[in-house]
């Protein structure tokens, strides 16, 4: 099974990211993107269970914050929200991957299933708030340096103002987050209350 071979590598990715972020090294962003890309690309192929839409939403949200904001604006790594964000993501992965491994081996303890589908309840809102704080803190840099923006005129006759995009994204972010949170709550209800392990 391909999905079984993905898990140990992903756990190693989380471990390496945690060490890099503890030293405030932006190189950790590449580690996380590789891990997250694996998850979202194998989801549509049916190699792991989950919705491709929610996987894509989570991947694009994380990638936006990591690459378009934190990677481009290294000053934000000193903001407490960056540390909170990385620790929240790492903590969720530390539970998720042992759950995947034990589920594949059909020996998942019920307490690990409970933890897998309960830990997100406090972590998800904290992570979302940290992402939003970082986006707000990035706005002055995005405006003054025109980061990730495409100015007119150009050969493609296409303009894109990333600063305005982030302002719009901040407006809809709570609604997108609520959709994902409700999806996770629904999954929790099915897994924890019914006692399913898969």
Indicate the DSSP class of residue 78: G
Q: Which of 87, 124, 173, 181 is flagged as catalytic?
A: 124
Active-site residue, selected from the candidate residues 36, 100, 131, 162? 131
Q: Which residues contact 123 (CB under 8 A, 6 or more apart)?
A: 88, 91, 92
Find out whether 115 and 95 touch, Cβ atoms under 8 Å.
yes
DSSP state of 74: G
Catalytic, 162? Answer no
Tell me, yes or no, if 36 is annotated catalytic: no
Q: Which residues of 180-190 are buried (b: 16+ CB within 10 A; e: fewer)?
A: bbeeeeebbee
Q: Where are the alpha helices (DSSP H) in 151-190?
A: 162-188
Task: Please list, residue by residue across 66-77, b when 16 or more beta carbons sit within 10 angstroms of its beta carbon and e when fewer do.
Answer: bbbbbbbbeebb
Give the residue numbers marked as catalytic: 124, 131
């Amino acid at each position: 099974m391909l999905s079984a071979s993905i898990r140990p590598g992903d756990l190693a990715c989380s471990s390496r990211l945690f060490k890099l972020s503890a030293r405030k090294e932006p190189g950790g962003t590449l580690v996380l993107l590789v891990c997250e890309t694996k998850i979202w690309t194998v989801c549509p192929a049916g190699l792991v269970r989950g919705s491709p839409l929610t996987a894509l939403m989570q991947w694009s949200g994380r990638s936006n914050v990591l690459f378009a904001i934190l990677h481009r604006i290294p000053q934000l790594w000193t903001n407490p929200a960056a540390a909170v964000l990385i620790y929240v993501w790492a903590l969720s992965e530390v539970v998720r991957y042992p759950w995947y491994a034990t589920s594949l081996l059909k020996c998942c303890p019920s307490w690990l299933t409970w933890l897998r589908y309960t830990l997100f309840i406090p972590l998800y809102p904290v992570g979302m708030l940290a992402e939003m704080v970082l986006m707000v803190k990035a706005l002055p840099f995005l405006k003054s340096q025109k980061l990730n923006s495409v100015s007119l005129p150009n050969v493609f006759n296409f303009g894109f103002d990333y600063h305005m995009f982030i302002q719009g994204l901040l407006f809809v972010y709570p609604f997108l987050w609520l959709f994902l949170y409700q999806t996770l709550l629904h999954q929790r209800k099915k897994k924890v209350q019914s006692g399913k392990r898969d």
